[in-house]
Chains A and B, each alone.
Chain A
């Protein structure tokens, strides 16, 4: 950490809405260690089960994890989560900017979208888009596409709110300073507001990613061969519910712990860069 002595004296000013990194720096180091230990512990537990009880757990893990070439199990879960999340970020950013513009039509579109989508469970969106829409449109939507659309639609609304809050947390003077230099609204957003907002919203955004990773298990009802679906199939064949679902659970845990660590690392990097 580049904690410089002179930065401690710097006066707080309105443009520093992103601040507050310095005092947390040390305690974050400690927390980091604990959480890494938890991740390592979870991985060690899997190794213990896999190699210690190979007959009991070996086939379970091999089946539910799937293979890269097949793109099933863990690979399906990750593919679905990452692809959906890219679209979710795009929707959230655009709709979030709409929400804070002075254009009432764009504001209204964004608010309406958020209010409607937030009020319906993700599972219902998923069912409706996969089973309901094809009947109306007279065309079959592939299950993976349907899942990406449903997640983008549903999570986009939460992401809109996160972006809106992030943008609004940046002091008004930042936009004024950028505009006073002759930048257009879009240039000011792109170069000044969004880069600062992204730093602010990184924790809630990565939280959304982890939540999505878990909610992606909902697609197992569409027949998509994700981690959860593979687990259910294995239980159907072998009736080893306790072992199989335990294996599924710990696999999700490892994934989520890993991505949480990753986001914390990125957050720290950005905090250091800013100084």
Chain B
């Protein structure tokens, strides 16, 4: 039990009359890389956003590292500091330089001094391969570079979990690889990752588990190899035939 860093129990989420999450149960173990796929509107992004409480669940429980997000006494800011999130639209802070994007939360949330924060920022920029962009502004970077800064910004908090919400969907094709390489590298270092993505190459290379969601439910929870080779569910087969056909 202690090995489950994320525990999702009987979670329901409604958006008005839409049942976005329908009795979802899911555990993620420490160090596991989980890829979540499914058609648009299947609830995969919603599930990810519930894990760091950007969406609140209507019923059920989500435990992150043993802390129940739905409990009233939970300090949600403290929990979020341990969970890195990478968005489809990058969401870098356009009024701050790349360096400041990475340093700000280190200073105001982690209470590190500027020198320590900058040291960390430079290390991470090195790791994501764009140390020369430290003093650039987000508007001067390509999409792929921006997303790599966004990953560095999240990693600067030393999170225990990284969530990726379609990190390559807003990128031009030639920039997808540079972001996936960073994610792959991260997966190999033992980071716990939950990724909503349609990059099946990444799923095969990095993920031990793949989850197929449809209509707010987890339909399959298996290994990438088994999912692609022998999908058990008809809906999974249909979905895979559409995305793997071309």
Contacts and interface: CB of A to CB of B under 8 A. Distances in A.
A240 to B, nearest CB: 52
B90 interface: yes
B170 interface: yes
Interface stretch (A10-18, A86-94, A227-235, A242-250): A10-18
Contacts of B151: none
Contact of A177 (B83, B93, B110): B93
B139 A180 contact: no
A196 interface: yes
B83 A274 contact: no
A7 interface: yes
Contact of B80 (A15, A181, A199, A275): A181
Contacts of B89: 13-15, 171, 173
B217 interface: no
Contacts of B82: 182
A275 B139 CA distance: 7
Contacts of A15: 89-94, 138
A181 B109 contact: yes
A178 B85 CA distance: 10
A179 B141 CA distance: 23
Interface residues of A, number: 32
B108 A4 contact: no
Given A11-B143, A15-B92, A18-B94, A180 B77 contact: no
B94 A181 contact: no
Contacts of A180: 52, 54, 80, 83-85, 154
A16 B139 contact: yes
B81 interface: yes
Interface stretch (A38-46, A184-192, A253-261): A184-192
Given A6-B140, A13-B90, A173-B89, A179 B54 contact: yes
Contacts of B139: 7, 10, 16, 19, 274-275
B85 A195 contact: no
Contacts of A191: 104, 108
Nearest to B78: A182
B157 A181 contact: yes
Contacts of B239: none
Nearest to A6: B140
Given A181-B80, A184-B77, A275 B140 contact: yes
B143 A174 contact: no
A13 B52 contact: no
A183 interface: yes
Interface in B132-148: 137-143, 146
A215 interface: no
A115 interface: no
Interface string B109-126: 110000000000000000
22 contacts: A4-B140, A7-B140, A9-B142, A10-B141, A11-B142, A13-B143, A171-B89, A173-B89, A173-B91, A176-B91, A177-B150, A178-B105, A179-B77, A180-B80, A182-B77, A182-B78, A191-B104, A191-B108, A192-B93, A195-B95, A196-B93, A274-B94
